[in-house]
Structure 1
């Protein structure tokens, strides 16, 4: 019986990740097989929430993040000006071609930006563009007063593609070092080197970029040699992986936070004391130690403490007793082992999703701890959290993971998550005082002023407990060090497959 189970698992694993990386090199070609944890059914970079086109090296943005210095730097753009925060001149690099051979000039970039604005309301709100004019290699863009406009061009949903192509969902054409040869939705992409890449052609011939949301399967695929690089292997497998002399495991602090998103439109969670009780029940250090095995840092707020705009929080009282006191303030009592108010038991629906293996485990720990004080928590598994939470309000809490400073600045997260027009405002927050702080931040130029305003916003979120923050996870990547050369685990998680990646 055990042998049959092993055989079935092996067959399923092969089906998930495709052929062995060695098979792609039988004819001598240089290939890397990369296994990612999120699947996608669309490669449209202007709406794809998994950002695969930029991660797979198909598309690029005008500006990118300099991760060493936490500021922005040119990419497809050569330079920019816009001292008044409204009128922007962007100069493009000369000689850049799309992967179909067409020239990337200002008119082509304008059409790509126009399409991203048409297809994505969140991009409209984020960029605040009034008009775009194109002339040769120069773009003239007018925005609302918005000094941080250029940093928003780091967003992968503003990737530059040739919009004259017919099938952008399945075959986008960008300017990156690898062009798409085939796409199996939910399964994998096959890519080949773009010989005319503007920043120097890759030494690799091909790349396979595949998906598997099962962390254990990802680890097994690397151990068996079916893939070369695995993004977020199973934490429990790290000891085995590290004992293999051919495998390198990297654990890198990133700009990410695992949070407990609270639907403040739900009747019970409209009371801040109920939200504070939820926060008090979260055993952060226990989760870091037991679920992440130390590959994380307990979170006091959305931003890593090392960032200049992260507030210094007062230490909170935590635990079941504290949660019970908050619930008493909200009018709840425990009767016959059930937390209730006016005869109605407190029941919470908690969303989670499997693509990040630690989130369902966090949900289970919370469910168990809540049960100890008479709160019934129903865990509901969903597949694509952004789609579900944006379209449905039949939930109370959600374990969710979010990049909070992928531009090296607080503006992105605060606008997306707490502004009424934000694309990631799943909590339904509409707080005039908080909105005013964010609006002021959007017009501030001085970095010290921006940091102070970001701290004010984060303090307000903490005071009103609009969301609760669990931990800052490290990004773990494992790869075959006897083969892979020049892999870099980035803090932003945007840049993965590039022209420097190589094999021995």
Structure 2
């Protein structure tokens, strides 16, 4: 049986709101303090349907069957008390009893089944990663059978899009009904989500009365909101502001290495980037040290591959040569001319399109730095900032290079990342990879139960990905958070999943 102990995660902040009730007879003022937190995030949400968006989980509205332990990245019970499987294909989950949805309906195995069925209908990516054949529910026991042996299945239930909601409630995109410590009060797309305490929360009522989850992609605007009192806590303030914030007793900051990896994506369906040597040339051209130390002010660690080095399955990568001379050598390997350190093809200059987005403030700067280095060898790079970035990369064919910062290991297991990023039909296969040997390794991994064998398969896959250079892995960025000094019980979660929690508090003095 797979078991773990529950852990509470904390992320958000608070402001004190006073409401005054006056007595006309005595002129005596009675004050009731309402604790409120305003949290400012960098990615906007167009919907709060938990099957499509992470915000309901982050805002404490919904919960998943299992959750991620932030220290060792193991999975722990949440709405499921325990789970077991003898063969990695037939799973039995015991659903926690005495849990209520925000509308008073009890959480049962049947309601969980209906929620997961809805998630798979609404989101093809959820259907792909869960790989469920059928489910059966009886009281608080949920039986799930996957299409094939799937030993890492419980870890996939960590994903925010597998959050449990009450399917019978209306308007899930505007007012999802979950089991978390907060219930939705109002939502304005791309602007703000207001939540209030759910007094019947199974794990103890929240210390905050209400909270606001807001969005702004401009890091300078997020910093201004913190300093003006418009936000109590801000995600990813400008890194160059940290020194001043740390020296000011009015604020607190935290910075921890997260589970994201900044990367360059190469469109392998492009006529040039089909060539492994061209991908390696750009991999050599990018200056990781400049990105980490200058552009990101040291708030990152260098990446040799997609995963942090402390994962058991991360291989020992060979040291790579980088710089202009190495890039020129790879262009020559690909059959390009490099006379006078200027790259041409049959006498014609090269032009590529690089796409990026603004919610990672360092990306436009990094794009310009890469553009400048390419110009030194005669290559022109046009930079385009696009909206709906993931959708654009998947659907458009005209781009050559992309920048991205995914959560590489959001479940403490490599299977999800490999499946969605490198199988031909993967939901996040932005590079359009179709490599039969790599697909075969991933397929074998998905049905392997023994942990040591799984780790070896993961290592084999990662070394093959490194050899082919489908992506250029740059740095693992720190999660940087700033808050006012009254915020209590804050924890910067590496998973970036658990933010507004029942333990979050503010000092009312």
> How many angstroms apart in 2 are the aligned matches of 1:378 and 1:257?
23
Trace 1:54-73 onto structure 2 (pairs within 5 A): 54-73=57-76
Q: 1:430 aligns with which of 426, 431, 434?
A: 434
Contact kept in structure 1, 2:84 and 2:92, CA below 8 Å: yes
Q: 1:132 aligns with which of 125, 130, 135?
A: 135
> How many angstroms apart in 2 are the aligned matches of 1:304 and 1:402?
13
Contact kept in structure 2, 1:117 and 1:124, CA below 8 Å: yes
Structure 1 residue 70: Cα displacement: 2.0
Are 2:46 and 1:41 aligned? yes
Paired position in structure 1 for 2:419: 415
Q: Deviations over 1:313-348 (max 9, x none)?
A: 111100011101100111111468852213443211
Paired position in structure 1 for 2:235: 231
Q: 2:81 aligns with which of 56, 69, 78?
A: 78
Q: Deviations over 1:32-55 (max 9, x none)?
A: 11010000111111122xx11100
Q: 1:174 aligns with which of 173, 178, 203?
A: 178
Count of aligned positions: 482
Secondary structure of the corresponding residue to residue 38 of structure 1: coil
Change (3 A) 1:237 1:348: same
Q: 2:117 aligns with which of 114, 134, 157?
A: 114
> How many angstroms apart in 1 are the aligned matches of 2:84 and 2:309?
32
Are 2:248 and 1:269 aligned? no
> How many angstroms apart in 2 are the aligned matches of 1:323 and 1:98?
57
> How many angstroms apart in 1 are the aligned matches of 2:482 and 2:501?
17
Paired position in structure 2 for 1:493: 496
Contact kept in structure 1, 2:15 and 2:35, CA below 8 Å: no
Paired position in structure 2 for 1:445: 449
Deviates more, 1:273-282 or 1:406-415: 406-415
Runs of 5+ consecutive residues of structure 1 not aligned to the other structure: 1-19
> How many angstroms apart in 1 are the aligned matches of 2:105 and 2:36?
26
Contact kept in structure 2, 1:334 and 1:374, CA below 8 Å: no
Trace 1:245-394 onto structure 2 (pairs within 5 A): 245-334=249-338, 339-394=343-398
Runs of 5+ consecutive residues of structure 2 not aligned to the other structure: 1-13, 21-31
Q: Deviations over 1:435-458 (max 9, x none)?
A: 111111111222222221111111
Q: What's the TM-score once normalised by structure 1's chain length?
A: 0.93
Root-mean-square deviation (Å): 1.5
Structure 1 residue 23: Cα displacement: 5.4
Q: Deviations over 1:174-211 (max 9, x none)?
A: 11100010001111011100001111110110001101
Structure 1 residue 25: Cα displacement: 6.8
Contact kept in structure 2, 1:171 and 1:180, CA below 8 Å: yes
Trace 1:73-222 onto structure 2 (pairs within 5 A): 73-143=76-146, 144-222=148-226
Q: What's the TM-score once normalised by structure 2's chain length?
A: 0.92
| Structure 1 residue ranges, 4+ long, deviating more than 3 angstroms after superposition | 20-27, 334-338
Paired position in structure 2 for 1:7: none
Paired position in structure 2 for 1:395: 399
Paired position in structure 1 for 2:27: none
Contact kept in structure 1, 2:16 and 2:34, CA below 8 Å: no
Paired position in structure 2 for 1:9: none
Contact kept in structure 2, 1:125 and 1:421, CA below 8 Å: no
> How many angstroms apart in 1 are the aligned matches of 2:242 and 2:100?
42
Contact kept in structure 2, 1:24 and 1:31, CA below 8 Å: no
Paired position in structure 2 for 1:16: none
> How many angstroms apart in 1 are the aligned matches of 2:386 and 2:199?
41
> How many angstroms apart in 2 are the aligned matches of 1:220 and 1:83?
54
Q: Deviations over 1:372-431 (max 9, x none)?
A: 111111110012211211221211111100111111121121112111222111100011
> How many angstroms apart in 1 are the aligned matches of 2:367 and 2:292?
14
